[in-house]
A and B are shown apart, each in its own frame.
Chain A
Amino acid sequence: MSETLETTNLTLFEQLGGAAAVDAAVDIFYRKVLADYRINRFFDNVDMEKQAAKQKAFLTMAFGGPHNYTGEDMRKGHERLVKMGLDDSHFDAVMEHLEATLQELNVPGALIAQVAAIAESTRTDVLGR
């Protein structure tokens, strides 16, 4: 299994299963986020369908899929939340849920690490530093 993964020409997004994988992951991931008292206040007062669409955008990005977000967009998108007190602890919580979601979906560890690295690379922008 790991051998085929290493020798493949497929992108990370394709290896994870593309749009279908995002669909499978969003349900699990978003539920974890909403149920987590440490961070769910950031998601109050938002329409769930719209928010789920944004969660898909989030996952597509973290999965290495095609997206149009720049670092600047990430800054602007989370500016409101930084004003509400968004900090490293909240970012860590989201990372935790992201990794747990992929584990639940039996994604191989090597791929999870790549996803985590992509998400991690947005930390300074998301936290507005």
Chain B
Amino acid sequence: MLNITCGESNVACLANETVLDALLKANIPIPYGCRQGVCQSCLMRSLDVTPPVAAQIGIKDTLQKQNYFLACCCHPEQDMTVSLPDQQDTWFEASVIQKQQLSPEIIRLTLQYNAELSFFAGQFVNLQRLDGLTRSYSIANSSRHEKILEFHIRRLPNGQFSSWAHDELQPGTTLTLTEARGSCHYLPGRAQQPLLLIGTGSGLAPLYGIIHDALAQGHAGSIHLYHGSRNSEGLYLIDEMQELAKQYANFNYTASVSGACATETGFAQGRAHELALNAVQSLKGWRVYLCGHPEMVNQSKRMAYIKGASLGDIYADAFLTLPH
């Protein structure tokens, strides 16, 4: 008989029981549906041990790596501490050590922290201001950098957090952060797979991190980055990306503007996702990353899928703003 810890509860799991059986028997409400690993309603996360292989079949590889598993398929092999996704909120503090203007619309914030934090570039954290105002931002640097987090924040007209970050936030300020979340990040393995990355505006932030991660881990397949914005104010790190494309033969970079005045700017003309998706015949076998404007993300997801990318190979973060 094994022990399952979930929040405050300790539950016995009998030999033929799943984690789901054991928790439900103890009246711990866990959402579930098919009870056979199809619907994924009972997705949970192990906070200590690696879950049994059979309990991770069918879930996204990035989530597997973070020890997510399906409770209905989990016959535990040892004691486990588990939680429902996002239930284990722990906050930590980080202080702003640098603020840099990357374009008229976008700043780079660099934060330093002391906590033990594990993350992948491209995941996001929730940043909280002293008064409680909270917004999600994507991590643009890889975790090989010591105790540092880098964010790219785009100013939205009258946006509460972003305007404050642009106009008032000063180095030395302390912010509160959640741990890293989301499955939009690079995973090693399948190093020959071609990668297509499409971002609009500050959607470059996670992609920037993912690309550096991929290159540092020796990704050998071709990597195609399309960064777009309505006007050139939304594009940034252009020189650095061009430099990277010179340095790595398998990295290709296209910056585009979709607004009317594109011709004068020297950038490609058109919407990033349309340029990107028209440039390839088939995306069968590709890995696709989509970040930024929610409408762009959703359209591209569908187009990429129809072009042959499998859903499990499409990683996306729509930069949803809160409803008003």
Contacts and interface: CB of A to CB of B under 8 A. Distances in A.
A60 B38 contact: yes
A34 B33 CA distance: 26
A49 interface: yes
B5 interface: no
Nearest to B314: A48
Interface stretch (A1-9, A19-27, A101-109): A19-27
B306 A31 contact: yes
Interface residues on B, range: 10 to 19
A34 B305 contact: yes
B306 A34 contact: yes
B302 A19 contact: no
Interface in B269-324: 298, 301-302, 305-306, 308, 310-311
Contacts of B298: 47-48
A27 B35 CA distance: 21
A67 interface: yes
B38 A56 contact: yes
Interface in A104-129: none
Interface residues of A, number: 22
B39 A57 contact: yes
Contact of A66 (B36, B305, B310): B36
Given A27-B310, A27-B311, A56-B39, A48 B34 contact: no
A108 B33 CA distance: 30
Contacts of B33: 68
A22 B307 CA distance: 21
B40 interface: yes
B11 to A, nearest CB: 25
Contacts of A49: 311
Contacts of A19: 36-38, 57-58
Contacts of B305: 30-31, 34, 48
A23 B58 contact: yes
Contacts of B310: 27
B40 A53 contact: yes
B69 to A, nearest CB: 15
Contacts of A53: 39-40
B58 A67 contact: no
B120 to A, nearest CB: 20
B311 A60 contact: no
A100 to B, nearest CB: 16
A99 B40 CA distance: 26
B322 to A, nearest CB: 18
A35 B306 contact: yes
A82 interface: no
Contact of B301 (A22, A48, A57, A60): A48
Q: What 7 A-B pairs have minimum CB-CB distances, sorted nearest first?
A: A19-B38, A35-B306, A27-B310, A19-B37, A48-B301, A34-B306, A52-B311
Interface of A: 18-20, 22-23, 27, 30-31, 34-35, 47-49, 52-53, 56-57, 60, 65-68
Given A56-B38, A66-B35, 7 more contacts: A18-B36, A19-B57, A47-B298, A49-B311, A52-B311, A53-B39, A67-B34
24 contacts: A19-B36, A19-B37, A19-B58, A20-B57, A23-B58, A30-B305, A30-B311, A31-B308, A34-B306, A48-B301, A48-B305, A48-B311, A49-B311, A52-B311, A53-B40, A56-B38, A56-B39, A57-B38, A60-B34, A60-B38, A65-B36, A66-B34, A66-B35, A68-B33
